[in-house]
Structures are given as C-alpha cells and as structure tokens.
Amino acid sequence: MTEPVPWEAIYRTRDEPSLSWFQTAPEPSIQLITETVDPSSSSIIDIGAGTSRLADALLNRGCPDLTIVDVSTTALDVVERRVGKDDRLTPIVADVTTWNPGRTFDLWHDRAVLHFLGDTELDAYRAVTQRAVSAGGHLIIGTFAPDGPETCSGRPVTRYSAAELADLFADGFTPVSSRGHLHTTPNGSGQAFTWVTLRRRSA
Ligand SMILES: C[S@@+](CC[C@H](N)C(=O)[O-])C[C@H]1O[C@@H](n2cnc3c(N)ncnc32)[C@H](O)[C@@H]1O
C-alpha cells in the first residue's frame, strides 16, 4: 500500500517556491470563482488550501465568509500570518474525507486535492460535498488532466478529464463549464490541469 503524503512535514521543512503547486497568483481559480459568484456576497470554502494566495485574493475582493481547510496546521498558520487578523477567515485543520462541515457554503473550491484520493476517500469526499454545498451553490475543482503528471510529491495521482469529473458528481451536481489550464511549476515545467465548475441541483 502507498504511504500517504506527509503534508505537515512538507510544509514544515520546505520553502514555498520549492513546492510544485506553488503559485504567486491563484489562476485560474480566481477567474473561475469570479465568473461564477460575486465573492463580496458569497460564502466560500477552499479545500486543501495549503498556503495558497487564494485566501488573500478572495478577502481582497470583499469575501465576507471564507473557510480554508487543510490537514496541515503549519500551512494554515502561514496563511493566517500572511493575511493578518481577519474575522472573515475561518481556518480548519481537518481531513476533508472525515470532516463534518456542520453548515453549507455557496462555493467549494479544490485545487489539486481530489486527485490524491483513492476510491473509499473519494466516496467520503463526495458525501461531504452533498452536505456542504447549498442548493444552487457551486463546486470548482481542478485536478491533473489525462495528459498531466502521473505523480505528485512522489505519490501516484488519478488524472481526470472534465467528463470524468462531471460523472463523479453526477448525483447532485450539473456541469456548468470546464477548461484546461497549464500550470507552470516554480522550476519551469508544465502541468496540465482539468478544471470543472458544477452547480448543485435543488433537492
Ligand atoms: C498539492 S497541494 C495544493 C494546495 C493548494 N490547493 C494550492 O493550490 O496551492 C494539496 C493540499 O491538500 C492538502 N490535503 C491533502 N489531502 C487532504 C485531505 N484529505 N484533507 C484536507 N487537506 C488535504 C495538503 O495538505 C496540501 O496543502
């Protein structure tokens, strides 16, 4: 069995620019989010936020209710220190596959988390989205594309097409749009991503 990725150790010991997923500007996330909702009047959750600058970008756009979830305390501490004290930001250290959200959000964003999940974790992840995304709310998910990397942080990942991601969430979510995006890592290599936006149907 493959060992899980030691996320906490990674964030404790490595500089941000040495992480393949590092971005100075959270694209296409911010573009996809602003095409979908008005951040200044939406509750937004970023799953597996890491140290991403998406939190800064959303707070700068007036987001009144932003939750960031990650298994790594160190990563979320970095974000909190960087954005400063802000009552609009709720950091939660949790494994999304065992987490009970206890509320709903207008928009769920995940960049480069879902592709690490095996079948059982994926079922749990989907169950959490059913509870956490409000009727009419949205999922925006980015994973490695079929022509993207086969591994990340030394672990195999599952690569998805837009149709495969839409199929995963067909029970409850309707596809709105999809696109590809080539992420340039800090060392200059390209990683092909698939992005989908899905809308939660009313019960
Ligand atoms: C490849 S990084 C992407 C980080 C961030 N989304 C970004 O785009 O910069 C994956 C992130 O997901 C977090 N993560 C992995 N599995 C998770 C899980 N089951 N629940 C919550 N966070 C998880 C890791 O700690 C890490 O920060």
User: What's the whole-model pTM score?
Assistant: 0.98
Cβ(69)–Cβ(94) under 8 Å? yes
Distance CA 141, CA 14 (A): 25
Which residue type occupies 64? Answer: P
Q: From 14, 19, 30, 70, give the residue whose CB has the most ligand 1 atoms within 8 Å, as the site to mutate.
A: 70
Task: Report yes or no on 108 lying in a domain.
Answer: yes
Encode pLDDT of 89-141 as tens digits. 999 999 999 999 999 999 999 999 999 999 999 999 999 999 999 999 999 99
Domain of residue 46: give its range. Answer: 24-200
Task: Give residue ranges with CB within 6 A of ligand 1.
Answer: 7, 21, 48-50, 52, 69-72, 75, 95-97, 111-113, 116, 152
Task: Report yes or no on 8 lying in a domain.
Answer: no
Which residue type occupies 27? Answer: E
Task: Report yes or no on 71 lying in a domain.
Answer: yes
Task: Report yes or no on 164 lying in a domain.
Answer: yes
Ligand 1 center–CA 190 separation, angstroms = 19
Cβ(169)–Cβ(198) under 8 Å? yes
pLDDT of residue 4: 81
Task: Report yes or no on 30 lying in a domain.
Answer: yes
pLDDT of residue 1: 57
Hey, is 108 helix, strand or coil?
Answer: strand
pLDDT of residue 161: 98
Report the CATH number at residue 159. Answer: 3.40.50.150
Task: Report yes or no on 1 lying in a domain.
Answer: no
Pairing relationship of beta strands 43-47 and 65-70 according to DSSP bridges: parallel
Domain total in the chain: 1
Ligand 1 center–CA 184 separation, angstroms = 18
What sign has the CA pseudo-torsion 56, 129, 75, 151? negative
Task: Report yes or no on 9 lying in a domain.
Answer: no
